[in-house]
Chains A and B, each alone.
Chain A
Amino acid sequence: MTELQYKETVVFERPTALTPTQTTYCPGCTHGVAHRLIAEVIDEMGIRDDTIGVAPVGCAVFAYRFFDVDFVEAAHGRAPAMATGIKRSLPDRFVFTYQGDGDLVSIGMAEITHAAARGENITVIFINNANYGMTGGQMAPTTLPGQKTTSSPTGRDVELAGYPIQMAELIASIQGTSYVVRRSLHDARNIRQAKKAIRTAFEVQKRGLGFAMVELLSTCPTNWHLTPPDAMNWLKENMLPVYPLGDYKIHDAVKSAGI
Chain B
Amino acid sequence: MTKELIKGNIAFAEAAIRAGLQAYFGYPITPQTEALEWMSGRMPELGRAFVQAESELGAINMVYGSACTGARTMTSSSSPGISLMQEGLSYIATSEVPVVVVNVMRGGPGLGNIAPAQSDYNQAVHGGGHGDYSPIVLAPANIQELIDITYESFDLAEKYRCIVMIAIDGSMGQMMEPAELPPFREIKKEHPAWAIVGAKGRKPNLICSLNIDEVEHEKVNLRLLARWNQIRKNEVRFKEYYLDDADFAVVGFGTAGRIALSAVRAAREKGIKVGLFRPVTLAPFPEKQIEALAARMKGLLVVEMNTGQMLDDVMRFGKDLSPVRFYGRPGGVIPLPEEILREIEALATETIPADIHPRDLWFDRLTAELGLTYEAA
- Chain A residues within 8 Å of B, Cβ to Cβ: 48-52, 54-55, 61-62, 64, 67-75, 78, 81-90, 93, 110-111, 113-114, 118
Q: Are A71 and B196 in contact (CB under 8 A)?
A: yes
Known A85-B66, A118-B51; contact A50-B61, beta-carbon cutoff 8 A: no
B197 to A93, Cβ gap below 8 A?
yes
Nearest-Cβ distance from residue A186 to partner chain B, whole angstroms: 30
Known contacts: A64-B206, A71-B206, A86-B68. The answer to whether A81 contacts B57 by CB under 8 A is yes
- Of B207-215, B237-245, B317-325, the one with at least 4 CB within 8 A of chain A: B207-215
User: Which secondary structure dominates where chain B touches chain A?
Assistant: mixed
CB B128 to nearest CB in A, in angstroms, measures 15
Contact of A89 with B210 at beta-carbon distance under 8 Å, contacts A49-B201, A82-B62 already known: no
- Chain A, residue nearest B212 (CB): A62
B201/A70 in contact, CB under 8 A: no
A70-B87 contact, Cβ under 8 Å, with A82-B65, A83-B65, A86-B68: no
Task: List residues of chain A with CB within 8 A of the CB of B68.
Answer: 72, 82, 85-86
Q: Does B17 contact A (CB under 8 A)?
A: no
* Residue pair B62, A81 in contact (C-beta under 8 Å): yes
Does B54 sit at the interface, judged by CB under 8 A?
yes
Instruction: Report whether B49 and A88 are in contact in the complex, using a CB–CB cutoff of 8 Å.
Output: yes
A137–B140 Cα distance when bound, in Å, is 50
What 0/1 readout, one digit per residue, does chain B (53-94) give for beta carbons within 8 Å of chain A? 111011101111111110101000000000000011001000
Neighbouring A residues of B208 by C-beta, 8 Å = 55, 64, 71-73
CB pair B62–A84 under 8 Å, yes or no, is yes
| The 5 A-B residue pairs with the shortest CB-CB distance in the complex, in nearest-first order | A85-B65, A81-B61, A85-B66, A82-B65, A85-B62
Cα(A45)–Cα(B64), bound, Å: 28
Smallest Cβ-Cβ distance to B64: which chain A residue: A82
CA distance A85 to B23 in the complex (A): 8
Q: Name B50's closest neighbour in chain A (CB-CB).
A: A88
Interface positions, chain B 7-58, Cβ under 8 Å from A, are 22-23, 25, 49, 51, 53-55, 57-58
- Which listed residue, B55, B73, B199, B205, touches A89 by the CB 8 Å rule? B73
Supposing A61-B210, A111-B61 touch, asked if A84 and B204 sit within 8 A by C-beta, the answer is no
Q: How many of chain B's residues have a CB under 8 angstroms from any CB in A? A: 40
Question: What would 28 A/B residue contacts be, using CB atoms closer than 8 Å?
Answer: A49-B201, A50-B198, A51-B198, A61-B210, A64-B206, A69-B198, A70-B206, A73-B208, A73-B210, A75-B87, A75-B91, A78-B57, A78-B58, A78-B87, A78-B88, A81-B61, A82-B62, A85-B61, A85-B62, A85-B66, A85-B68, A88-B23, A88-B62, A89-B66, A89-B69, A111-B61, A113-B54, A114-B53
B200 within 8 A of A: yes
Residues of A within 8 A of B73 (CB): 85, 89
A186–B341 alpha-carbon span in the complex (Å): 77
* A70 in contact with B205 (CB, 8 Å): yes
Asked if B66 and A69 make an inter-chain contact with CB atoms under 8 angstroms apart, the answer reads no
**A137 shortest CB reach to chain B, Å:** 20
Chain B residues near A54: list those with CB within 8 A. 65
Closest chain-B Cβ to A96's Cβ sits at a distance in Å of 12
Residues of B within 8 A of A48 (CB): 199
* C-alpha spacing A88/B25, complex, angstroms: 10
By a CB distance below 8 angstroms, the chain A residues around B22 are 89
Contacts of A51 in B (CB 8 A): 198
Whether B204 lies near A69 (C-beta < 8 A) is yes
A195 to chain B, nearest CB (A): 22
- Please give, as numbers and ranges, the residues of chain B lying within 8 Å of A72 by CB-CB distance: 64-65, 68, 95, 196, 206-208
Q: Is the CB of B57 within 8 A of A86?
A: no
Chain A residues near B59: list those with CB within 8 A: 81
Assuming the contacts A71-B204, A88-B51, asked whether A52 and B196 have C-beta atoms less than 8 A apart, the reply is yes
Residues of B within 8 A of A49 (CB): 198-201
Q: Do the beta carbons of A89 and B49 come within 8 Å of each other?
A: yes
- The CA-CA distance from A113 to B199 in the complex, in Å, is 29
Q: Given A52-B196, A72-B196, A73-B210, are A78 and B23 neighbors across the interface (CB < 8 Å)? A: no
Interfacial chain A residues near B212, Cβ < 8 Å: 62
CA distance A50 to B197 in the complex (A): 7
Q: Mark B172-215, 1 if CB is under 8 A from A, else 0.
A: 00000000000000000000000011111100111111101000
State the CA gap A64–B69 with chains docked (Å).
16
Contact, CB under 8 Å: B54 / A110 = yes
CA distance A111 to B57 in the complex (A): 9
Give Cα distance in the complex from A204 to B57, angstroms.
27
Chain A residues with CB under 8 A of B61: 74-75, 78, 81-82, 85, 111
